[in-house]
Every structure is written in structure tokens, then in C-alpha cells.
Structure 1
Amino acid sequence: MRYLMGIDLGTSSVKAMITDENGVIHGLGQVGYEIHTPEIGYVQQDPLKWWTATKEAVRQAIKCVDFTTEKIQGIGLSGQMHGMVALDENKKVLYPAIIHLDARSTEERKIIQEIAADLIQSELMNQPSTGMMICSLLWIKNHMEQQYEKIRYVLSPKDYIRFQLTGEISSEVSDASATLAFSVKNRSWCKALFKRLDLKEDIWPKVLNSQEIAGTITKEVHHETGLPENTKVVAGAGDCFAAMVGNGIIKTGIMTCNIGTSSQIAVVTDKPICDSDMQCQLWCHAVPGVWAYQGGALNGGGTLSWAKNKMLCDGTSFEELDREIQKVPAGSNGITFLPYLAGERTPFNNPKARGVYYGLNLKQGKYDMLRATVEGVLYNLMECKKIFDAQNLPQEMLIASGGGARGMSWKQIQADMFAMPVYTTETVEEACMGAAVLAAVGTGIYGNIEEACKKMVKIKEKPVEPIWENHVRYKEGLQIFEELYDNLKGMFEKNKH
């Protein structure tokens, strides 16, 4: 039996998983870390703490197995997307990583929209948003000139971890396409954009395919983690795409709804799609030759965590909350929630949007508010699905992933809103599994990603079916949600917090 490791660098923790070539999990490690918000709008993390946590997670996973680590054939990476790690000429971190939740670059986003102009439609095929690498880099250039001049390399978060594992600097197509510095059309860095923004052109790493070998484990990492020296490490993928691979979402017409700290709804397409208003994103999939057309929202499961822990101060487990939320009728007894605690990227590209509960009365309780929180996240994703529908994109099957694939309330509300059966897989850690699948292909265990998914990813036969009366209620609720946002978006501009 041959074994593989998948490492997923999330927003709140890193996970390391060991699986065999049939997708059976043998070891799992997880270590958390903090998000720092030194000022309003600033959201950053320490890359060195990521690396310390990664080494510990790897050691934890290795302790779980009863075989020698020499049987691990390859390692794949997954990680939070859009963020930026800046390194100097000695490959040392210059500044805390500016991650995807960051909103400091509001003005830079506007500058890029104006200067990039035609490149947005023709090359980038996406609108810039705060928290994306190109905006963060321009912010550093405009506000921290001395640090900018020292930058020699810029990396996405998981690419920094791969650098620490191998000593090699590179990126790969899925994460690169989400930097907004990459031509999604041509699958290469957009040098014309760098010239227009007067940005350095020699700091961008080489771009690999996701299953391509990027390096091998160094002697130092071997001593620190127990991973065998010279074990092959593949390029990997951004967490959205690693999770898609880990759930077998690799063919045209399969749609996914992923609820992690943030949330995404995406459909696989064999051709680049670009709606005229560019409300959704088009990224290069980890699978060669296909793309993912995505509504990537900043607010997801983390929004429910906020409501539970910070607003209601509820110590109940998420499992118990899930059971209680299921008891509340669709529509949350009249409460509508705008989930924009961190602003929003899709479909309303509005970093100043904020969270709002509407329709409160004396009869409602905390579980009504918590269900409304879940519904608000999914209403926002429904807005994205409406854009998919307008593009006539095939949506033949819906697979749920992330934390939202574990809670029955999340799945049932998805089924009811989207009017589709919601399937899930047997996969426990989708992004880690996707990274392991890519490693299995890169190391030659399987010939391609489709073959690897057939062996390593199992879809559960029984889906969650929609309740049609709930679907009718949610169609009405979506209209209220839309009107609420439209009526408040002017107020968001006036809010200083």
C-alpha cells in the first residue's frame, strides 16, 4: 500500500492528513493560530506561526500511523487564497501576511479598476477586491515604500509553506489566478498590468500545474517533522479547488457549495465564462483544461461562529445548535440577516457592507436569529447562483462541502433554496484529500485526476432532498433580502466603522 499526505493551510488552523491510495485516512493533525486585526480593516497573520503550526500538525499526523514514513510517496498542498506573503532577497518574511479578509486596500482597488481598464475583461477576467494580492501589493507600495523596495518574492499562503518544505519558490495556476495579477485567459502573469501599475516585474514566481512536482522535502524539514528527505511535493491548489478535487468536483456541470470560514458556490466549466458585470469570479481549476466559475463570499461559517460566540455568547456545541436550528421554520419566523460582517466580495463587491438583522420582534429567540444567520449566508450565495442561471451554465449535480456539509441544517437549507438534491462525499477533510489526490497524480500512482478521484473519493448515495414549500418561502425571502441590501447600501457608505 502506498500513502500520501495532504496539508491544508486554512484561515484559522492548518491540517495535515495521511491517506492511502484508496482514500482511507490513517492520520490527521490540526493546529490553530490567530488572526490579527491591529486596525479596523486590517486582517493579517504571521507566516512563521503558520510554519510552526504546520510542522506540529505533520508530527501529529505521523504519530497516528503504524507504518514507516518512507511509505509516504508524495505530499500535496492546499491553502487559503488571495493573500500575500512578501519575502526579501534572503527569503525572509518582510511583513505579516495580508490575508483575504483584509480591507485596507479600498483605494488601491479603485486605482486598479481604473488603470487596468480593458485588461480586466480581456486578461484578468475578474474584478479586483480588497484582500487580493495585487491590491495588497499596491497598498504596500503606496504606504510602506521602504518595505516595498525590499520585496524580492511574493507568494500565496500555501506557496510559502511549500517553500518552507522544499526550499523552492513557485506558484500554481489556481492560486495564481486568484491574485488578480494573473491572466486567466493565457494562464500566465499579466505583465501588461505590472507595467501600468508600475509594479516590480521580477518578483512573481514561476507557475506550475497543480499536480506538478514542485520540489522535495529538505534534510532540515526531515529532522523537524519526520517526513522522509527527498519525498516529492506537488504544487497543490488553492483551498477552494483542492476541496473541489477532494469531493470529485472536476467535470463540467457539477456545482459545489462550500461553507468554511468564508463560503463559495462554484460550477465547473470547460470554457472561460465572464459575465458583463463581472460579479462572479473565473479561476483556473486545479484540473488541466477547465475553469471554475465561482461566487466567492467573504462570509460563511465564520459568521455563524460570530453569532454564537460573540453576540449570543452561547456555549452550546455546534452539533446541538444544528439540531435546534432545524426546529425553526424556513424564514426564521420573519428575521432576515445580511451577513456582511467583513464586507463582501461576491456578488456585491462592497467592502463597506455590514451585517444587519431585520424583522426582530418580542416572540423570537436566539435559535431564530441563528437560523437567520445561516439563511443570510445562503441567500447571498443564491444571488451568485442567479448569475450562473443567467449564463445558462449546466448545473446537473450539487455537492456540499466544508463545515456546511456536516450540519443537516446547512444542507437542508441549501437543498430548499437551490431546489436541488444536495449530495455529500465520504471525505472528511476535503481540501486535504484534494491535495493528496494531486500528490497521487504527481507521483505517478494514478495517470490523471479523474482516475485518482474514482479511487480516492466516494460520493454518498442518498442526498438531502428539497422541501418544496420551503423553496417557495425562500423565493419570497430572497426578494426581502435583495430589497434590504438595496435600501441600506447608501447607509453603508456613511458608516465609519
Structure 2
Amino acid sequence: MKYFLGIDFGGGASKATLLREDGEVCAVSSCEYPTYYPQPGYAEQDPQDWVEAACKNIQAVLAESGIRPQEIAALALDAATHTAVILDEDFHVIRPAIYWTDTRCIAETEYLKEQYAGLIEKQVLHHPDTIWTLPQLLWLKKNEPDSWRQMRKILFAKDYVRHCFTGDYVTDYIEAQGSMMFDSQKMEWSKELCGILDIDIERMPKIVSPSDQTGCITGIAAKLTGLCEGTPVICGTTDTVMEVFAAGAVLKGQMVVKLATAGRICVVTDRPYPDANLVNYSHVIDGLFYPGTATKSCAASYRWFRDTFGGDYKELDKKAAKIPPGTDGLLFHPYLNGELTPYANPRLCADFIGIRASHTKAHFARAVMEGVAMSMLDCKTMLDHLCIAHEDTAAIIGGGGKSPIWRQMLSDVLGIRLLTMKHADSSFGSAMLAGTAAGIFENLEQAVGLCNKTVAETVPCTENTKKYAEIFQKYKAVQKALEPIYNGEIK
């Protein structure tokens, strides 16, 4: 029997999934790591935390499953895109990685809009924003000249961990699309965009396919992980495309709703849809794309609330469930790190509006959940506005989707049916990718057909959908009223 490992690096934790060739998951393990906020608007992670978390997770799934390391045919990695690791000539990390939710590079983003908007939109199919690697590196060059002078190589989160396991220096083309330094038309590093940073493209990692084998577990990595030296390692790709794939969305029109650290609604299409409010990436299925909308602080908002005000998720869910839809007039906008769709504004701030003496902690917990759901409705409304055809059913993925109350709330707010899969996280998708790359699954579609299983469905309550539609208008009105304040237009 053959086994495959998928390893994900998310916003707050790494997860490993061990998949058997018959499509059954044999073991999973998760290990949290921190995000550091040294200044307002900053968000950084330590790459060594990723490596240590991956090693712990691999050891854990081997111990839980009881299989021999020799039985693992391949492993693949994935992570949130845009997160660059800058390295010296010997691949030593120079500074913490700037995470994609970081908003410090507002000035650099504005500069790119003013000077290079046409070039970027033509080659990248995206519009400049603080989430992209290019403005982040531009900030680094301007503000940390010592770090910049030391830099000789650039990798992205999952690629750095894989390098530590294999010694390779590559990335995949979907990851590269998230850097804003890649020509998505020619499918190669852009001399013009890299030239903005005065970076020689020879210093950039080699571009490969997500399913390509890039190396094997080294002797040192074998000791750290418990894997066998020589185990094949597949390049892997970004976490969102692996989630879309894991959720079974491999046909045009299929939709995935992601309720995780960040929130996404993605629709599988046969072409990209360049727009300031969309993120366009290639699908792992040749010829397909998954343009999507995004909200920055989704489950991250609920985690922030838990960490700041105390409690655990089950307790908060239980209390929030007793509060009626609409939270007795309390509104929350989840803009903890600015917002993407449909505002593309890193200056927006989170807020609670409509507080009364009668409101309790349970009200605030529910308000956070409803506010995130409203933000997701903002996302879906944009997809509909752009006439991107999709089914009225979507797979729901992400940690937030495990909450029955939040899942029902989201179904009510969006007015669509949500399908819950037995396994649909990105590490599961990476495990399927590894199995396909190893030749055990005939192709990606066959892997989905064998491994993907629906276990529940959530149907919207028509009455609640109508009520939330009215609340959404208030939600939008408050956002519009506060935006000039956050932009500094009103002193």
C-alpha cells in the first residue's frame, strides 16, 4: 500500500495529511505558530517556525498511522502565496518573512499604481495592492538597506521549507503569479517588473509545474522528519488552489467558499477575469482558472476576538447561537488589516457599530461572525456584478466552516447551499497532488473522484436571507460613512 503526504502552511498553523492510495486519510496533525505584529499594520512570520512545525507534523502522522516511512511514495507542500523569504548566498534567512496581510507598503503600492499600473495589469492580470510581493520588496529596499544588500536569493513560504528538505531552488508558476514579478502571458519571470527592484532574473528561482518532482529528502531532513532519505518531494503550489482542488471544484462553474484566516469565494472558469477586485490564478487543471474575491480577516477576526476577549470557540459558538439573526442591531466590519474585495483599501479599520447597554459578549461574538459573512456577501456580489457564471451550490472549506452556526449563518447570508466535504483542506489537496505526481492516481480528476466525499449540506433559510439582505444595506452604508475617516480625509 502506498501513502502520500500533503503539508500546508497557513496563516496560523501547519497541517499534515497522510493519504492512502485507496483515497482514505490515515492521519492528520496540526501545529500552530505565531504571526508577529511589531508595529501597527505589520505582520511577519519566522520561516524557521514553518520548518519546525512541518517536522513535528510529519513525525506525528507517522506515529499516529504506524506505517513505515518507506511506504510514503511522495510528499507535496503548499502555503499562502505572496510571502517571500529573502536569503543570502548560502540560503540563510536574512529577516522575518513579511506576511501577505501586512500593509506597511501603502506608499510603495501607490507608487506602482502611478508609475507602472499599465505594465502590471498587462503582465500580471492583477492591480497593485499591499498583498503582493513586489511592493513589499520595494518597501524593504527603501527601508532596510542592510537587509537588501545581503539578499541574493528569494523563495516563497512552501518553497523555503522544501529547500530545507531537498536543497532545491525552484518555485511553481502559480506561486510565481502571486509575486507581481511574473509575466502571466509569457509564463516567465518579467524582466521589466523585476527591473523595478533592480533584481536580475537569474537570481530568481527556476519555474516548474506544481506536480514536478524537485528533489528528494536529504539525510539531514530524514533525521529531522523521520522520513526516509530519498523520498520524492513534489514542488506543490499555493494553498488556495489546493483547497479548490481538494473541495472537488475541477469543472467550469463550480464554486468554493473559504472561511479560513482569510476568506475567499472562487469560481472555476476557462479564462482569467482581470479586475481590481479579483485575484486571478491558474488552476492545477490545465486550461482552467479560479478567479476569486477575497476578504483579508475572516476566521482571523474570530481568532482575534477569542484571543483578545477570552473564551474558546465552542463556548463562543454556543452563546452566539442564542442571539437572534441581526445581533439586536450590533454590526461588525472585519477590516483588521484593511480590506480587499470590493474596496482594495489597506487603510480601512475594523469596527463595532450600534453598541447598546443590553449587548453582551455573546452579541459581540455573533456580530463578528455576521460581519465576516457580510464581507463574504460583498465578495459574492462582486462576482455576480462581473457576470461570472457559477452554480447555486458551493463547497465550504476552512476552519470557520467547521462551526455549524457560522456555516448556517453564511448559507443564510449568501443565499446558497453549502456542501461540507469529509476532507477539503489544502494539505489534503497536496496529498492528492503528490499521489498523482507519483503515478498512483491516473490524473487529478481521477484523484478527486476517488478521494473527495461530501458529508453534509447546509440549506439557507429564506426568511433569514431576506433579513440579512436588509442588514447588508446598513452594513454597506456604515462602511461608506466611515471610509473617509479611515482614509484621513476627515481630521
TM over 0.5: yes
Asked if residue 358 in structure 1 is aligned to residue 357 in structure 2, the reply is no
Partner of 1:27: 27
Q: Is the 8 A contact 1:325 1:367 kept in 2?
A: yes
1:199-252, CA deviations, whole angstroms, 9 ceiling, x for partnerless residues? 443332122222221211112111221111111111112111111122112221
Q: Is the 8 A contact 1:185 1:272 kept in 2?
A: no
Aligned CA distance change for structure 1 residues 65 and 330 (closer, same or farther; 3 Å): same
- Counting only pairs closer than 5 Å after superposition, residues 370-409 of structure 1 correspond to structure 2 as 370-396=365-391, 397-409=393-405
Q: How many Å separate the matches in 2 of 1:300 and 1:270? A: 28
Which runs of no fewer than 5 residues in structure 2 stay unpaired? none
Q: Is the 8 A contact 2:19 2:432 kept in 1?
A: no
Q: How many Å separate the matches in 2 of 1:432 and 1:65? A: 16
Asked if residue 341 in structure 1 is aligned to residue 336 in structure 2, the reply is yes
Partner of 1:308: 306
Of the three residues 315, 320, 324, the one matched with 1:325 is: 320
Q: How many Å separate the matches in 2 of 1:385 and 1:350? A: 18
Deviates more, 1:73-82 or 1:319-328: 319-328
- Counting only pairs closer than 5 Å after superposition, residues 186-201 of structure 1 correspond to structure 2 as 186-201=186-201
| 1:329 Cα deviation after fit | 2.0
SS at match of 1:284: coil
Q: Is the 8 A contact 1:129 1:349 kept in 2?
A: yes
Q: Is the 8 A contact 2:180 2:193 kept in 1?
A: no
Amino acid at match of 1:404: G
Q: How many Å separate the matches in 2 of 1:151 and 1:202? A: 13
Partner of 1:445: 440
| 1:40 Cα deviation after fit | 2.0
Q: Is the 8 A contact 2:293 2:383 kept in 1?
A: no
Q: How many Å separate the matches in 2 of 1:29 and 1:426? A: 16
Q: How many Å separate the matches in 1 of 2:259 and 2:269? A: 21
| 1:364 Cα deviation after fit | 2.3
Which runs of no fewer than 5 residues in structure 1 stay unpaired? none
Q: How many Å separate the matches in 1 of 2:160 and 2:106? A: 25
| 1:196 Cα deviation after fit | 4.2
Amino acid at match of 1:99: Y
Q: How many Å separate the matches in 1 of 2:57 and 2:16? A: 6
Q: Is the 8 A contact 2:8 2:427 kept in 1?
A: yes
| 1:465 Cα deviation after fit | 0.6
TM-score (norm 1): 0.94
Of the three residues 452, 458, 466, the one matched with 2:460 is: 466
What is the root-mean-square deviation of aligned Cα atoms in Å?
1.8
1:41-90, CA deviations, whole angstroms, 9 ceiling, x for partnerless residues? 22112112221222122111111122211110110111122111001111
| 1:273 Cα deviation after fit | 1.0
Partner of 1:494: 488
Deviates more, 1:186-195 or 1:344-353: 186-195
Q: How many Å separate the matches in 1 of 2:184 and 2:462? A: 39
Q: Is the 8 A contact 1:184 1:283 kept in 2?
A: no
- Counting only pairs closer than 5 Å after superposition, residues 175-324 of structure 1 correspond to structure 2 as 175-275=175-275, 278-310=276-308, 312-313=309-310, 315=311, 317-324=312-319
Aligned CA distance change for structure 1 residues 344 and 203 (closer, same or farther; 3 Å): farther
Q: How many Å separate the matches in 1 of 2:411 and 2:152? A: 47
Q: How many Å separate the matches in 2 of 1:82 and 1:230? A: 30
SS at match of 1:53: helix
TM-score (norm 2): 0.96
- Counting only pairs closer than 5 Å after superposition, residues 93-132 of structure 1 correspond to structure 2 as 93-132=93-132
Aligned CA distance change for structure 1 residues 185 and 467 (closer, same or farther; 3 Å): farther
Q: Is the 8 A contact 2:222 2:229 kept in 1?
A: yes
| 1:23 Cα deviation after fit | 2.9
Partner of 1:148: 148
SS at match of 1:233: strand
Q: How many Å separate the matches in 2 of 1:86 and 1:98? A: 10
Q: How many Å separate the matches in 1 of 2:225 and 2:489? A: 48
Amino acid at match of 2:476: E
Q: How many Å separate the matches in 2 of 1:112 and 1:284? A: 24
Partner of 2:407: 411
1:406-427, CA deviations, whole angstroms, 9 ceiling, x for partnerless residues? 1112211221122111111011
SS at match of 2:487: helix
Asked if residue 64 in structure 1 is aligned to residue 64 in structure 2, the reply is yes
Q: How many Å separate the matches in 2 of 1:213 and 1:495? A: 52
Q: How many Å separate the matches in 1 of 2:486 and 2:227? A: 50
Of the three residues 419, 422, 445, the one matched with 1:423 is: 419
SS at match of 2:35: coil
What is the total number of aligned residue pairs between the two structures? 489
Amino acid at match of 1:490: P
| 1:391 Cα deviation after fit | 2.0
Q: How many Å separate the matches in 2 of 1:384 and 1:203? A: 37
Amino acid at match of 1:412: Q
| 1:431 Cα deviation after fit | 1.1
SS at match of 1:5: strand
Partner of 1:137: 137
Amino acid at match of 1:130: T
- Could you list the structure 1 runs, at least 4 aligned residues long, displaced by more than 3 angstroms after superposition: 196-200
| 1:14 Cα deviation after fit | 1.4
Partner of 2:471: 477
Asked if residue 435 in structure 1 is aligned to residue 430 in structure 2, the reply is yes
Q: How many Å separate the matches in 2 of 1:259 and 1:290? A: 23
Partner of 1:173: 173
Q: How many Å separate the matches in 1 of 2:21 and 2:113? A: 45
SS at match of 1:283: coil
| 1:469 Cα deviation after fit | 1.0
Q: Is the 8 A contact 2:247 2:425 kept in 1?
A: yes
| 1:486 Cα deviation after fit | 1.0
1:428-453, CA deviations, whole angstroms, 9 ceiling, x for partnerless residues? x6111001011011111112211111
Q: How many Å separate the matches in 2 of 1:476 and 1:207? A: 48
